[in-house]
Structures are given as structure tokens and as C-alpha cells.
Amino acid sequence: MTITFRQETFRDDFTFRNSPDNIRRFPFPFDHDAYMYAVNMEPHVRGAPNSVFENLIDVDEHYVAEMQDRALVLKEDPLRCQALPHMMAAQWDTLELIMEHQAADYPEHFSLTKDGDLWHWINRPLGIDDSFTFGDASTLPYPPMEYITRQAQGDFCIVDQRDGNLWMDAGMVTTQADWSLDFDIGMNFMEWHGPVPLAHQIGVFDRALKFLLNLQQGKPTRRLNWTMTVNPRLDTSPENYHKWGPDRLTVTPENVGRKMHLRVELQSLWRLPRSNAILFVIRCYLISLDELVTVPKWARRLPRVLSSLPPEIVDYKGLTRNRPIMIDWLNAYDDGAPTSPGIYPD
């Protein structure tokens, strides 16, 4: 499968757009007309062709542009990529996982050959051709996690498992929905989820933690999470909140279709073999409302979901200011007809 990579920006002039094929691939997160937090984990296995679930590590038309944006973010703020000292084995586990999946599923773009510990990695879209010794960080231009996550879409957190708990002890986080790696690194599962409203009270995190502590090699799991972003901006970090926060005031009924984006995270969790840690992949997808309403089922469902959200979730996801404008605009596409269950377009 050969991908045509787009040239586009996620800042300044925001030229990001989805091609028509990519719109239909989009991981629309709502399988019915309402939303509440749940332990909505399912086995991360290959899914429908031409969907984002086709491959377990998804590379799409935005790959090159996203990696360029990541490099800019890191130049401005290297604290977005950190690893505590005891996480080196987990870093190598992560490098191996990503390289093997990308090379196996996108052979036109990535190649990996191994001669014992001597590995040769080629990344054609980014023009990288490196030979290195697996296990020897001095043979790579960056530490292993940073090296490979500069070449993989999405954010990556490596979570250490000990004391019956999970600890976020390493990460590359440049496309997050508003949390700070520098602040959260070192926290355990309950602590880093501290700010999320409601979910604690309904026991979502207790069950999720138990489930993840038992995550097995060879059996990754996945779930979807979502929010809305003004402009297709990947770097909506708290660090830069004072820079992107004002965007929220620029939304009008005339421009909401173009400016407002549904932002979905396809989260996958993998047990890492050498370190027994867990790799938490947060793969971010953006779609403007203009693009989204070209799929009638989604156009009907989204306003219904937005209208019925609990106020705590509205507040936590930063939707307070613009929710009325969004719903008004979307309602034009909702004729009240029933929507089919599930997330896929009809």
C-alpha cells in the first residue's frame, strides 16, 4: 500500500485537510447518540480494510507533516520528550515494536533488516537510513524512544508496572489534548487521571487499572477517546494554552464548519516483553465539521451527542464556550432520522 503524503501545516496557516478517502477512514468515536466514560477496551486486532484499524500501528497521509510539526514542537520545548533513568529496556522494547510494525505493514515506505544485534532501518518518507546496534544507545542519534517516536504518528507513553500500579515513567507527548508530560511524568495511574471528572466515581479507573495490570504479551488492547479542537492544531498542550486558548473566541456560525475539529484518540496498550512495561499509544486524528458532515450518519449523531453531554464533561473537554454554535450549525444536518449502531459510515 503506497501512501501519498500531504504537505500541510498544523499551526500558523493551518493548511491541514483530509483527502476524501481519509474522511471515510476517520475513527468516529460514537457508536450511539450519547456519550459517557466507560472501560471501553477491546482487543487491538486487525480491523476493517480501509479503516484506521487495518494495521495495528497506523501510518496515514499526514505522516510526514505530523513528523515535521513534532520536530518543531521539540525544538521549542524539549521537555515534551522525557524518560526516567530506569526505563531504558522499555525504550528498546518500544523501538522494536514500532519498527517491526511499520516495516511489516508499509514495506514501500519502511525497511528493517537485522543481523543479530546489528539493525538497519530505512525510513523513505523522512529520508532516514541508519544502522545501529540494538541495545547500545550510543549507536543512535537520539535515545531509542525519542529516535523512533520522531518517526511515528501519535503520542507515546511508557508505563512501568510495579507495586500493583502503573507509573508513567517515559513519554513523547506533542499532540496531546491538554496535559503536561513534564508535570505528569512519575505519576501513577490514579494520579495522572486525577483531573478527569466523574470517571473516578463510577469506578472506571479501578476496573481499567485491574484490566491493564493483567495485559498480556501478544494481546494488545485499544479504546477511543475524543475532544474538539479549534483549528487543526496538534500541539494543544497546557504549556501553550495561552497561545491556543484565544482561538476558542474566534469561532463564529460562519466559520465553525471549517475551524472546529473533532479530535479522536485511538489509544492502544501493549505489554512490552523485555521490560514488562506497557506502551500506551495515543494516535490522534483530526476532522473538520465541514469534512465530517459529508458522512450523513455522523452528521446526525454528533449534535445529538453534544447536546446530551453531562456538564462536567463539557467543562473538562473545554467545550463550554463553543458548544452552542457547534450544535446550531450541526442541527442543519440532523433531520431526526434514526442512526445505525456502531461507528462506521453507512
Partner 1 sequence: MLVAGIKSRPEYKGLEIDPHARRHLFVLEGEGARALLERAGTDGGSFLAKAEILYLPGGSAGKNHSADLAALGADIVWTAAGLQPLLGRLSVCLANATMGMRIYIAGTEGFIGQIIQVALDFGVDFNSLRTEHRGSLARRVQCVHCKGFTDNVTVTPFVCSHCGLSLLVRDHYSRRLGAFQGVNIDAEAPGTAPEPEELFL
Partner 2 sequence: MSINTEMAVRVAAITQVAAAVKTFRLERIDGAPLSVFSGGSHIVVSMNDGEQLRRNPYSLMSSPDDTSAYEISVLRVANSRGGSAFLHDRLEVGDHLTISQPVNLFPVDHRGRKHILFAGGIGITPFLAMMEQFTRDNVAFELHYAMRSRTHGAFWQQLLERYGPRRIKIYFDDEKSLIPVETIVDNQPLGTHLYVCGPSGMIDGVLLTALEAGWPKENLHAERFLAPPAGLPFQVMLEQSAMAITVGEHQSILEAVEAAGCEAPYMCRGGACGQCETAVLSSDGELEHNDVYLSEAEKAEGKKIMICVSRFKGQQLVLQL
Query: Could you tell me the smallest distance in angstroms from the CB atom of residue 185 to partner 2?
Result: 14
Q: Is 321 in the site for partner 2 (CB under 8 A)?
A: no
Among positions 318, 330, 334, 343, the unique one binding partner 1 when judged by CB under 8 A: 318
* 313, 155, 345, 38 alpha-carbon torsion, rounded to 10°: -40
State how far the Cα of 271 lies from the Cα of 96, in Å rounded to an integer.
13
Q: Please state whether 168 falls in left (phi above 0), alpha (psi between -120 and 50) or beta.
A: beta
Task: Determine the Cα–Cα distance for residues 291 and 121; give it in Å rounded to an integer.
Answer: 36
Enclosing H/E stretch for 263 = strand 260-271
Q: What is the DSSP string of 27-39?
A: ----SSS------
Binders of partner 1 among 110-139, rule CB under 8 A? Answer: none
Asked if 171 is part of the footprint of partner 1 (rule: CB under 8 A), the reply reads no
120 is a contact residue toward partner 2 (CB under 8 A): no
For partner 2, the closer of residues 218 and 311 by Cβ is 218
Site for partner 2 in 72-111 (CB under 8 A): 86-89
Residue 259 neighbours by CB under 8 Å, 6+ apart:
230, 231, 247, 250, 251, 288
Q: Nearest CA to 317 among 217, 229, 200?
A: 229
Tell me how many residues contact partner 1 (CB under 8 A). 32
Radius of gyration of the chain (CA): 20
Q: Which does 191 bind (CB under 5 to 8 A by kind): partner 2, partner 1, none?
A: partner 1
Q: Which does 241 bind (CB under 5 to 8 A by kind): partner 2, partner 1, none?
A: partner 1
Distance CA 292, CA 64 (A): 23
Query: Does 296 contact partner 1 by CB under 8 A?
Result: no
Interacting positions 29-88 with partner 1 (CB under 8 A): 79
Rounded CA-CA distance 187/179 in Å is 13
Catalytic residue among 11, 46, 124, 223: 223
Q: How far apart are CA 91 and CA 83, in angstroms?
A: 8
Task: Tell me how far apart the alpha carbons of residues 334 and 342 are, in angstroms, rounded to a whole number.
Answer: 17
* Alpha carbon distance 129, 345 (integer Å): 39
Residue 135 contact, options partner 1, partner 2, none, Cβ 5-8 Å cut-off depending on partner type: partner 2
Task: State how far the Cα of 175 lies from the Cα of 155, in Å rounded to an integer.
Answer: 6
Does 341 contact partner 2 by CB under 8 A?
Answer: no
Q: Identify what 321 binds: partner 1, partner 2, none; CB under 5 to 8 Å per kind.
A: partner 1
Q: Is 207 in the site for partner 2 (CB under 8 A)?
A: no
88/326 with CB nearer partner 2: 88
Residues numbered 178 to 207 that lie near partner 1 (CB under 8 A) are 178, 180, 182-187, 190-195, 197, 200
Find which of partner 2, partner 1, none residue 142 binds, CB within 5 to 8 Å per kind.
none
Q: Please tell me whether residue 162 binds partner 2 under the rule CB under 8 A.
A: yes
Instruction: Taking the CA atoms of 148, 149, 151 and 154 in sequence, report the sign of the dihedral they define.
Output: positive
Q: Which of 136, 212, 102 is nearest to 167 (CA)?
A: 212
223 among known catalytic residues: yes
Site string for partner 2, 277-306 (x = CB under 8 A): ------------------------------
Residue of 150, 177, 170 lying closest to 234 (CA atoms): 177
Q: How many residues bind partner 2 (CB under 8 A)?
A: 19
Using an 8 Å Cβ cutoff, are 52 and 271 in contact?
A: no
Residues in contact with partner 1, shown as a per-residue x/- string from 238 to 277 under the rule CB under 8 A: xxxxx--xx-xx----------------------------
Catalytic residues: 223
**Where do contacts with partner 2 occur on this chain (CB under 8 A)?**
86-89, 135, 160-163, 210, 214, 216-219, 273-276
Q: Which residues bind partner 1 (CB under 8 A)?
A: 79, 163, 178, 180, 182-187, 190-195, 197, 200, 238-242, 245-246, 248-249, 312, 315-316, 318, 321
